Amino acid sequence: MTAPAVSVIIPTHNRRASLARTLDALARQTWPAGSIEVLVVADGCTDGTVEALRGRAVPFALRVLEQPGRGAATARNAGAAAAAAPLLLFIDDDVEPTPGLVAAHVRAHEGHADRVVLGPYPPVLPARPDLFRVGLRRWWQDHFTAAADVGHRFTYRDLLAGNLSISAGLYGRTGGFDPAFAGCGGEDWEYGVRLLDAGATFVFAPDALGYHHEASDHARSLRRARQEGRADVIIARRHAGLRPAVAFGRRESGRAAAESWTSVCVFRWPWVAVLLPAMITPLLGPLERLRLRRSWLRVSRALRGLAYWQGVRDELETWKALAGFLQNGPARPDEGPEATLNLRDGIAAAERRLDAERPAGARLRYGELPIGRIPPEAGAERLRGVHLRPALADRFAVPYLMALSFERALLDARQGS
C-alpha cells in the first residue's frame, strides 16, 4: 500500500444499503486503488452500519470513524482531520460514483492548489416518475448544465458537498464546514462563501460524474425548503453582505420583503401557514392525474414558499425581528472594486486584465462609447477573463456591435475625406 493520493470522505447516517452501493462503486474506479483511502464517518448510526463495515473486503484502505449524531458538517470535518492524503474528496452516502470519478477529480487539481472541484450527481429517476421527480431531475440538470458553461460565474450556492474535492491545505486554511448548521443543512453554501472570499477558484469537472439515489418526495422537499429558510438566516447572520442575496432578502428594504403574502401568513397568522398546506396539499394528486401541470406547479411552489418562510420564522421568531434583521443589513451588495475596460484595445487584452486584477465588477467601453456594466454580485466569484465573451455575446451584443459599426463608419468617413 502506497501513501494515498486522495482521501474519500463519506458521512453517513443509517443508510447501510446505500453506503454499500457507494463503496462497491469506489472499488471499480480507474484510479489505482492503492492510492485511495476511504474514511466513512458514521454519524449516530444505529442500523448496523459500523458492524457491516468492519468485515467488508475492499481493494482500498478503509477506515471507519464514529461520532454521536452531530450532523454532516461535523462528520466531514472529522473525516478531513483524520485524512492522510493531500486531496480530500467528499461524497454523499447516496451517490454512486462512475468509474472515472476519482481520476477526474485528481486530474482537475493537477498544478492548482487553490481549486475547488465540483462534480455532477444528477438524481436517478424511478421507472415511472411523478411530476415531482421529473421536476427535481430537471432542476439538477439545469444546475449542472449552467455550471459546465465555460463562462459561468460561480456563486456560493454552486458549492454542493455531495461530490466535491479540495486540497487538504486549502481546507485547513479556510476552516472546513460550520457545525452550526446541524439539522438544517446549508453548511456547504456557507462554506462556499468563505472559500470565494479566500480567493479559491471553483471548477466544474463533468467527467467526475456520480448518480444520486435520492429517496425524495414532495413531503421531504417541503421539509428541506423549511431547512433552507433556517439556513439562509444563519448564513446572512454570518455574512451580512449576503442579506440582499438570500431568498427572503431579495428586496430593497426589510418592509418590502415582509409584505409578501407568504411572510404575512407565517409571521402574522402562523395558524394559516399550518392550515393552508393541509388544505391544498391534497390537490396535488388530482392535478397530476388530470395532467394540469401548470396548476400543479403553482400549488407546489406555494407550498414550498410557505415552508421556506416557516424556516425563516424558526430562526427569527417575530415579524419585528424579520424587518429589523433586513433593515440593519445592506440594501445592496458591497460594490467592491470595479475595472474600466476599453474594448478598443482588444478583447484578449481585456480578458488578461480581468484575470490579473480579478475585480468585483467591470464597466465596458469602446473608446468613448459606453457598452455596459457587469455589476458586482453578492456571493459570487470575482470576475475572470472567461466571463467577458459570454457577456458580450449575450447582454451587450447590440451596443458592442453598434460601437464597432460606428468606429467603422468614422474610419470610412476619414478615408473618404
Residue 48's pLDDT band (cuts 50, 70, 90)? very high
- Record the cell numbers describing residue 161, joined without a space: 458537498
- Tracing cell 458492524 back to the chain, one arrives at 51
Q: What is the per-residue pLDDT for 258?
A: 45
Tell me what pLDDT residue 163 has. Answer: 98
Mean predicted confidence (pLDDT) in 20-45: 96
Which pLDDT tens digit goes with each residue over 272-330? 888 888 888 999 999 999 989 999 999 998 899 899 999 999 999 888 888 888 777 66
Q: Which stretch of DSSP H or E encloses residue 38? A: strand 36-43
Predicted confidence band of residue 332 (pLDDT cuts 50, 70, 90): low
**Does the structure show a pLDDT above 50 at 254?**
no
For residue 331, pLDDT over 60 is answered with no
- The confidence band for 125, taking pLDDT boundaries of 50, 70 and 90, is confident
The top-scoring range by mean pLDDT among 230-244, 259-273, 329-343 is 230-244
Task: Output phi, psi for 123, to 5 deg.
Answer: -70, 150
Which one-letter amino acid corresponds to residue 406? F
How much is the mean pLDDT over the chain?
89
Q: pLDDT tens digit string along 233-248?
A: 999 989 988 887 787 7
Contacts of 202 (CB under 8 A, 6+ apart): 115, 116, 118, 154, 158, 159, 192, 195, 196, 381
Domains of the chain: which residue ranges?
6-215, 220-327, 338-416
**354-409: per-residue pLDDT in tens?**
999 999 999 999 988 999 999 998 899 999 999 999 999 989 999 999 888 887 77
Rounded to an integer, the average pLDDT of 246-262 is 59
C-alpha 17/C-alpha 288 separation (Å) is 32
Distance between CA 61 and CA 34 in Å, rounded? Answer: 8
Q: In the prediction, which pLDDT does 63 show? A: 95
- AA identity, residue 41: V
- Average pLDDT value for residue range 260-267: 79
Cross-strand pairs, 91? 163
- Looking at residue 416, its pLDDT comes to 66
pLDDT tens digits, 67-118: 998 899 999 999 999 999 999 999 999 999 999 999 999 999 999 989 999 9
Choices 3.90.550.10, 3.40.1190.20, 3.40.50.720, 3.20.20.70: CATH for 6-215:
3.90.550.10
pTM summary value: 0.90
